[in-house]
Structure 1
Amino acid sequence: MITERIGYHAFRDRVMSAEEAAQLINNEETIATSGFGAGGTPKAVPRAVAAMAKERHALGEPFSVRLFTGASTMTDVDGVLADADAVSFRMPYMSDPVMRRKINAGSIAYVDTHLSRMAPWARAGFFGKIDVAIIEVALIRSDGGLVPTFAVGNAQTWLDLADRVIIEINTWHTPQIEGLHDILNTAGHDVPATLARITAPGIRVGQEVLRVDPNKIAAVVITHEAEQSITFRPDPDAEMIAGHIIDFLQNEVAHGRLPRALPPLQSGVGNIANAVMGGLANAPFDNLSAYTEVIQDGMLDMLRSGRMVSISGAALYLSPPCADFVNTHMHTLRDKIVLRPQEVSNNPSVVRALNAITMNSAVEIDIYGNVNSTRIAGSRVQNGIGGSGDFSRSAMLSIFMTPSIAKNRDISSIVPMVSHVDHISQDVQIMVTEQGVADLRGLCARGRARQIIEHCAHPDYRPFLWDYLYRAEQYSGGDTPHVLSEALSWHQRLINNGSMMPVN
């Protein structure tokens, strides 16, 4: 197996256990891992680093690292290292519950930034030096090229910048994955002209493999582990939201504002996004394509059915059955799926050039169209902004979606004023909840408020939103009326009483 997966002979004498590789990482160093979501995330070495950290802490010795990734890494990196108190600093995105708890407790410093910005800012030196890169690959070619697995993320940038490199070869992935990736080294000076050649999601502009200076390779670790996968659950609200979005798109086509084939689609992560893709599989649209960051089951199903013809993304993030299907049928899929570095998959100039339709989730939305997609009650981070800002600001049509209520109706997702702003109202064109669709295009602030309250707010909270808007218009006035003493009172009630619902 080693001979089959390590074609570059010079690397064969660097094979060692994950535990031995972990010893190459020192306290207070910066480590950067591959991975975007669950896809492409190293597994054995981070676990070994976490175990080493616990041993050192038990001896009274300090050990922690600064952690950079592509996006979230689930428990494979974020979870095990946070649980071991082995992380002092984290960026640019996370969604693991243990990591989240410790960030919110203040024990881990967290920097949340747009995913397309991470690599160029790292190359500019804004975050200091990178000591060790830990990169998962399927195989090493005879010419030293590294074939990634289910994600590219920031892997090429980490290989370029790191002093030392640890490679995890994951033999669960088929060698036939070679050819799936399109890796443009964005450190070059001809990047804008090269990106301009991406005039459709399936067009390739880079090379198939990652490249690294052979002298940097400090260790090669062999693993055999399936990707940590997501399970999509049936969700009536998600299905209703999907239905509203599909009806809206059909209406846009009927009025000649969109072509029947639709521009390339982008969709965020989770049940709602996956439900939208599942609904589109049965909608009267043909020859669809996607230029997105995370490829989930719904998009894969459309590709398999022929409804979608090509998908470009940064990573595959699939349920176990779909992950197994992709691994088994890779030879038939790699010409229809393109995985790119996130600096390319999320590049605003490409999104703008393709006139993409973007669909992203929100934590809460205010009556004027500002979106909070990351913080609960303004303070507690739930996850990072991810790629939603990369896509929404540059989209031809920007859609945000959320259920109208949460926590057994104790929380309204439509509020007078969001407690944290990730997406300003100018970047938000369409809002969708299970209640309906608010088309905000061309509306002034007061017009937006009326659309959102009427079509997106839950009936239990709608009267209170109307009352707030009426009083704000009467007593405060202005282009965007607010009663500032009450604007965040809903969140304060939630903190005090456990519910946003006014007490009679």
Structure 2
Amino acid sequence: MDLRTLLAGLPEDPRVVATGNHATPWHLLGLVDESLASYRLWVLNAQRGIPDRDGVTYETPFVGPGMRRSPRLRYTPSRLSLVPRLFVTTQQPDLVLLHTTRPRDGRVSLGTEVNVLPAAIEAARPRGGRVVAQVSDRVPWTYGDSQLDVGSIDVLVEADEPVTPVPPSAIDAEAAAIGAQVAARVGDGATLQAGIGAVPDAALRGLTGRRGLRVWTEMFCDSVLALEQAGALDPDVPVQASFLFGSPELLAWVDRNPRVRMIRTETANDPGLIARNPGMTSINTALQVDLFGQANASRINARIHSGFGGQTDFIVGALHSRGGQALMALRSWHPKADCSTIVPMVDEPVTSFQVSAVLTEQGAAELAGHDERTQARHLIEHAAHPRVREELWEEAGALGLSDRV
């Protein structure tokens, strides 16, 4: 079967699930877009450059820059661990687009992006859905759940297209200071998870002096390579993640590297499995944290900006781990919005809550185990920017969190 015949046999307005983040099969997606008048494009963290026209409806539980602010976006709130269930209930795929290596010994590798793709393939095939892979020698071969039998793919499309490299995050003085706050709380032998962004990246880079660290995470980037090069990681425990992106050096490091084991979302983001890791330390960030310890990491002015992602999964897992902790690391002042990130009460839907501590360049606000008034005091005195502390004290009084006059 060729691609043209396969696409002609799809149902009207099919749901097309495509590899997301920085591993999108751009050539293949372009061919599909040319052939289908209308379809639903389902991508996690879609990057700029995806087809953008009438007839293409965007679907996702995690919004990337390619879908953000689109009037055709249909956002589905869901923690990442539960996204695979969507494929067998309300968002069944008709076509799955992959970006893989060329076949070797009857198999391909999904490379840098495993995530929910195995679940999408397993949901599509029993109901007559199709799977197409764009194959290239420039995709790193990774092990674990990334390996897929060629028999589960209907059509292979050749394209000499690499996985898009992503330069390491620029770490300024504030991000480095936050990273130092995190490093002070993490001991040897801990297990690490970090979200996307300069602040979590800086937090991991602050741990190069530790030893025996482990990585069990949804995603990783060059900061994990920095830990490996510094000898900070346990050499007997593989780095386990669901997807990755980063520099050409990182992509070369993961290629055929048994130290890296790619695992599907149902494994990576299962709070019960996360909790089994010793000293599980979850490092995430947010747009806002309020005096009740609630975090908004998803919305700006009520419009969806990203989504739950794996933040809620890892916070719960880390809190149930022996010696674990869930850290929220962010700047005390938002540089673009020019406002405090510590607010009296978030005015957007809450993404997460009940973390162990909130860390900013100002200091560490301990939350876990403290009553709500003490939590508010810690946030004001140790995490908030000095220029808003008096205002926050006034708001704390109005919220019943302080008797201070």
Secondary structure of the structure 2 residue equivalent to 1:422: coil
2:22 is aligned to: 38
2:291 is aligned to: 367
1:301 is aligned to: 226
1:247 to 160, 164, 184: 184
Please give the alpha-carbon distance, in whole angstroms, between the structure 1 residues aligned to 2:349 and 2:147: 38
Please give the alpha-carbon distance, in whole angstroms, between the structure 1 residues aligned to 2:10 and 2:388: 53
Q: Residues 130 and 425 (structure 1 numbering): CA distance in 2 closer, same or farther, change over 3 Å? A: closer
Secondary structure of the structure 1 residue equivalent to 2:386: coil
- Structure 1, residues 408-458: CA drift from partner, whole Å, max 9, x if none? 5732111111122434433x1110111111111211111100000111111
Deviation at 1:392, TM superposition (A): 0.6
1:133 to 84, 88, 96: 96
Please give the alpha-carbon distance, in whole angstroms, between the structure 1 residues aligned to 2:149 and 2:123: 12
Q: Residues 22 and 170 (structure 1 numbering): CA distance in 2 closer, same or farther, change over 3 Å? A: farther
Please give the alpha-carbon distance, in whole angstroms, between the structure 2 residues aligned to 1:363 and 1:288: 28
The answer to whether the Cα contact below 8 Å between 1:385 and 1:422 also exists between their aligned partners in 2 is no
Residue 165 in 1 paired to residue 102 in 2? Answer: no
Deviation at 1:122, TM superposition (A): 2.0
Q: Residues 86 and 212 (structure 1 numbering): CA distance in 2 closer, same or farther, change over 3 Å? A: farther
2:362 to 435, 444, 466: 435
Please give the alpha-carbon distance, in whole angstroms, between the structure 1 residues aligned to 2:362 and 2:56: 42
1:64 is aligned to: 38
Deviation at 1:386, TM superposition (A): 0.8
Please give the alpha-carbon distance, in whole angstroms, between the structure 2 residues aligned to 1:380 and 1:411: 18
1:492 is aligned to: none
The answer to whether the Cα contact below 8 Å between 2:62 and 2:308 also exists between their aligned partners in 1 is yes
Please give the alpha-carbon distance, in whole angstroms, between the structure 2 residues aligned to 1:113 and 1:134: 22
Deviation at 1:152, TM superposition (A): 1.0
**TM-score, normalised with respect to structure 1:** 0.72
Secondary structure of the structure 1 residue equivalent to 2:68: helix
Secondary structure of the structure 1 residue equivalent to 2:109: strand
Deviation at 1:270, TM superposition (A): 1.4
Residue identity matched to 2:47: M
The answer to whether the Cα contact below 8 Å between 1:429 and 1:441 also exists between their aligned partners in 2 is yes
Secondary structure of the structure 2 residue equivalent to 1:165: strand
Residue identity matched to 2:156: V
Deviation at 1:318, TM superposition (A): 0.6
Q: Residues 155 and 212 (structure 1 numbering): CA distance in 2 closer, same or farther, change over 3 Å? A: farther
The answer to whether the Cα contact below 8 Å between 2:143 and 2:258 also exists between their aligned partners in 1 is no
Secondary structure of the structure 1 residue equivalent to 2:328: strand
2:321 is aligned to: none
Residue 153 in 1 paired to residue 115 in 2? Answer: yes
Secondary structure of the structure 2 residue equivalent to 1:359: strand
Larger radius of gyration: 1
Secondary structure of the structure 2 residue equivalent to 1:362: coil
1:118 is aligned to: 83
Deviation at 1:263, TM superposition (A): 2.3
- Structure 1, residues 131-185: CA drift from partner, whole Å, max 9, x if none? 1111121022444x332211211222222222111111122125xx2xx3222xx
Task: For structure 2, list consecutive stretches of 5 or more residues without a partner in the other structure.
Answer: 319-323
1:221 to 157, 182, 199: 157
Residue identity matched to 1:67: L
Deviation at 1:382, TM superposition (A): 1.2
**1:180-199 equivalence runs, <5 A:** 180-183=142-145
Q: Residues 38 and 171 (structure 1 numbering): CA distance in 2 closer, same or farther, change over 3 Å? A: same
Residue 286 in 1 paired to residue 211 in 2? Answer: yes
Deviation at 1:366, TM superposition (A): 0.1
Report sequence identity in percent.
24
Please give the alpha-carbon distance, in whole angstroms, between the structure 1 residues aligned to 2:248 and 2:397: 50
Aligned-residue RMSD, C-alpha: 2.4
Please give the alpha-carbon distance, in whole angstroms, between the structure 2 residues aligned to 1:211 and 1:392: 34
**1:97-496 equivalence runs, <5 A:** 98-102=66-70, 105=71, 107-123=72-88, 125-127=89-91, 129-143=92-106, 145-162=107-124, 163-173=129-139, 177=141, 180-183=142-145, 209-211=147-149, 214=152, 217=154, 219-231=155-167, 232-249=169-186, 260-281=187-208, 283=209, 285-309=210-234, 310-323=238-251, 325-326=252-253, 330-331=255-256, 334-355=257-278, 356-377=280-301, 379-395=302-318, 396-407=324-335, 410-426=338-354, 428-473=355-400
Q: How many residues in Structure 1 have an aligned counterpart in Structure 2? A: 389
Please state which structure has a larger fraction of its residues in strand. Answer: 2
Q: Residues 424 and 274 (structure 1 numbering): CA distance in 2 closer, same or farther, change over 3 Å? A: closer
Please give the alpha-carbon distance, in whole angstroms, between the structure 2 residues aligned to 1:413 and 1:222: 47
Secondary structure of the structure 1 residue equivalent to 2:206: helix
**TM-score, normalised with respect to structure 2:** 0.88
Please give the alpha-carbon distance, in whole angstroms, between the structure 2 residues aligned to 1:108 and 1:471: 38
Of the structure 1 ranges 448-457 and 23-32, higher mean CA displacement relative to structure 2 is found in 23-32
Q: Residues 406 and 265 (structure 1 numbering): CA distance in 2 closer, same or farther, change over 3 Å? A: same
The answer to whether the Cα contact below 8 Å between 1:67 and 1:90 also exists between their aligned partners in 2 is yes
Deviation at 1:469, TM superposition (A): 1.2
Please give the alpha-carbon distance, in whole angstroms, between the structure 2 residues aligned to 1:376 and 1:342: 27
Residue identity matched to 2:213: L
Please give the alpha-carbon distance, in whole angstroms, between the structure 2 residues aligned to 1:68 and 1:358: 28
Q: Residues 21 and 47 (structure 1 numbering): CA distance in 2 closer, same or farther, change over 3 Å? A: farther
Deviation at 1:120, TM superposition (A): 2.8
Please give the alpha-carbon distance, in whole angstroms, between the structure 2 residues aligned to 1:229 and 1:87: 27
The answer to whether the Cα contact below 8 Å between 1:402 and 1:432 also exists between their aligned partners in 2 is yes
Please state which structure has a larger fraction of its residues in helix. Answer: 1
